[in-house]
Amino acid sequence: MSAVRWGMLSTAGIGRMVASAVRGSGDTRFVAVASRDAAKARGFAAEFGLPLSFGSYQDLLAWHEVDAVYVPLPVAMHTEWTIRALNAGKHVLCEKPFAVTAADAGRCFDAAKAASRLVIEGLMWREHPQTAVAVQLVAQGAIGRLAFIRAALSVSAPPGDIRRTSVLGGGAVLDLGCYCISAIRLFGGQPLQVRAVQVPDPAPGAQGCDLRLAATLTLPDDVVGQFDVGLDLTRRDELELIGTEGKVVVPDPWLCRTGRVELHSGAKAEYLAADPNGAFGLGPGEHDAYRIELDAASRAITEGTPPRFGRADAVEQAVVIETVRRAARERRRRRCAGRDRPRRHAWAGHRVRRREGSPMTSSAGAGRRLRQPGDETRLPRDPERRRRADRYFALPA
């Protein structure tokens, strides 16, 4: 069976990684690249031995000898060019995050259905055998009952980087948090509630988007998920799955370079290879995760089978991303007027729930108005009511 012929929209750095990763693959072959700068496209094509290059994205989409398109464009362009590619009759693998809203994710799948084409969100770590080992351990009860999921990812991106540019879809959650959220959902299910806090980015062009963010997610069956991300920190790649009888540690969860999973029980630690029989041909470096992802997409296209993660997963992922961003953005604290020291408490300590399209209300009474910044008021004397008033958000059903 012949390899799927792929085109790439953009000559971005991650595209270079992907093009290198699939060299020699029997399932996936890149044949074309497009850039708004024709010279860059020609240089990329020459470097990776691609027969075709184009000076516009639309020209590549119009070329009949391209079966599928890989979209590593800035986040803000994902939905537009995914839909354009689908409308042009191409299958699409779009880099994470697939869309910044659930509505946009739904639009992409509507376009895929109308065109009878596949569309896939590019979270490559989920296709790697290392992840499969971790999933199997949790499912088999190797750590008892899952209780806590902790994930982290941080990088050091300079001011002005596209990941720190608001109009291009920048921000720590969109660029990094999507990995952590996908892990929490994969192991713990769709979150029920979210609370989050962020540090706004002061860099020019960032327009206050999240430079760093931490969130706590309430999951079904009393499981709690936590993650933190940052765009100005040292590199960290972390995933821990903590149960009542042990824990699973994935040392390099996102790029999967170590190819192993750790199982801890008391003082004992067991190190499990991701590919003990060599079926996936794992090697050093970070190419394997992308190769496995692209080959899985190519097989789904060739065989006409649905991908493992489809519409429901992509839409639910976007719902959580939206909710985390909103929770972090709308969480407020207030200094008490007339005090020498700022207090941590902004409102009486009622838990707050919010659903899409509904007014903000207190759980202590439907329709009850919460104190707003600018209201002249004293904190309640009751110590129980002076606890921190973090905002909780209920995810849309």
Catalytic (active-site) positions: 96
Can you say whether residue 256 is alpha, beta or left, with left for phi > 0 and alpha for psi between -120 and 50 degrees? left
Please confirm whether the linkage preceding 97 is cis (ω < 30° from 0): yes
Residue 183 contacts residue 294 (beta carbons within 8 Å): no
Residues 235 and 221: their CA atoms lie apart, in Å, by: 32
Residue 148 contacts residue 242 (beta carbons within 8 Å): yes
Q: Which residues of 271-281 are buried (b: 16+ CB within 10 A; e: fewer)?
A: ebebbeeeebe
Residue 32, strand partner residues:
7, 52
Residue 292 contacts residue 259 (beta carbons within 8 Å): no
Measuring CA to CA, which residue among 172, 202, 174, 207 is closest to residue 74? 174
Residue 250 contacts residue 130 (beta carbons within 8 Å): yes
Residues 92 and 68: their CA atoms lie apart, in Å, by: 6
Residues 7 and 262: their CA atoms lie apart, in Å, by: 38
Name residues whose C-beta falls within 8 Å of residue 29's C-beta, 6 or more positions apart in sequence.
3, 4, 5, 6, 22
Task: State the virtual CA torsion across 362, 363, 366, 369 in degrees, nearest 10.
Answer: -10
What sign results for the dihedral spanned by CA atoms 177, 178, 181, 187?
negative
* Amino acid, single-letter form, for residue 293: E
Distances (CA, A) of 287 to 25, 127, 255, 293, 354: 12, 13, 8, 10, 42
Residues 188 and 23: their CA atoms lie apart, in Å, by: 35
Written as one string, the DSSP assignment of 104-136 is HHHHHHHHHHHHT--EEEE-GGGGSHHHHHHHH
- Lookup: tokens for 111: 């376009």
